[in-house]
């Protein structure tokens, strides 16, 4: 009769016979992560670290007089005033009208704002080698300055890489006043 220790040794030997090798470090695919969102049916993704959080659209927004139409107003979010921008409207797509709307909260330097998008598709993982540095030809000229290429998911779904940093540093985005003249003394 086998001892319990001998039974364990036999079990270990049999398990090793059927075990598969662990992939070497060269075989491990590196992944890039971002937050996916949709504007007018087009899929975009921005780096995960550029987005502070995702919120439902605030129930009440306080309008700001004298600003461009794509600035929807400000909301109090946990004691901070959050300007909410209709990203699709800013990009020339018209006013967002989706029941799945969400707000991407970004903070870059002194810029703290929420970007209203049609839908957030959540965290997306892309193989790093699926990155394409070129921007598709059919993309609107208003959107192109904010694109840094694209990623392919499952070799069939393209996500345009949207640079939130380029957006918040854009002179057009920073110019929210209806009167574009700056008073000088």
Per-domain residue ranges of the chain: 24-172
Is residue 87 predicted with pLDDT exceeding 90?
Answer: yes
Q: Which residue has the higher pLDDT, 9 or 128?
A: 128
Is residue 71 predicted with pLDDT exceeding 90?
Answer: yes
Residue 124 pLDDT: 95
Is residue 37 predicted with pLDDT exceeding 50?
Answer: yes
User: Cβ distance 75 to 82 under 8 Å?
Assistant: yes
Residue 46 pLDDT: 98
Instruction: Quickly name the fold that domain 24-172 has.
Output: OB fold (Dihydrolipoamide Acetyltransferase, E2P) (2.40.50)
pLDDT tier at 99, thresholds 50, 70, 90: confident
């Amino acid at each position: 009769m086998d001892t319990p220790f001998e039974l364990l040794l036999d079990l270990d030997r049999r398990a090793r016979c059927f075990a598969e090798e662990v992939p070497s470090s060269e075989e491990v695919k590196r992944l890039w992560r971002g937050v996916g969102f949709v504007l007018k049916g087009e899929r975009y993704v921005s780096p995960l670290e550029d987005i502070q959080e995702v919120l439902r659209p605030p129930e009440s927004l306080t309008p700001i007089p004298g600003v461009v139409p794509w600035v929807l107003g400000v909301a109090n979010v946990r004691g901070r005033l959050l300007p909410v921008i209709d990203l699709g409207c800013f990009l020339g797509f018209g006013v967002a009208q989706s029941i799945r709307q969400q707000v991407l909260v970004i903070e870059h330097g002194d810029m703290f704002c929420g970007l209203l998008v049609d839908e957030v598709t959540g965290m997306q993982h892309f193989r790093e080698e699926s990155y394409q540095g070129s921007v598709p030809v059919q993309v609107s000229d208003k959107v192109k300055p904010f694109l840094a290429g694209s990623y392919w998911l499952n070799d069939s779904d393209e996500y345009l890489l949207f640079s939130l940093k380029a957006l918040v540093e854009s002179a057009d985005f920073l110019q929210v006043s209806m009167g574009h003249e700056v008073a000088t003394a």
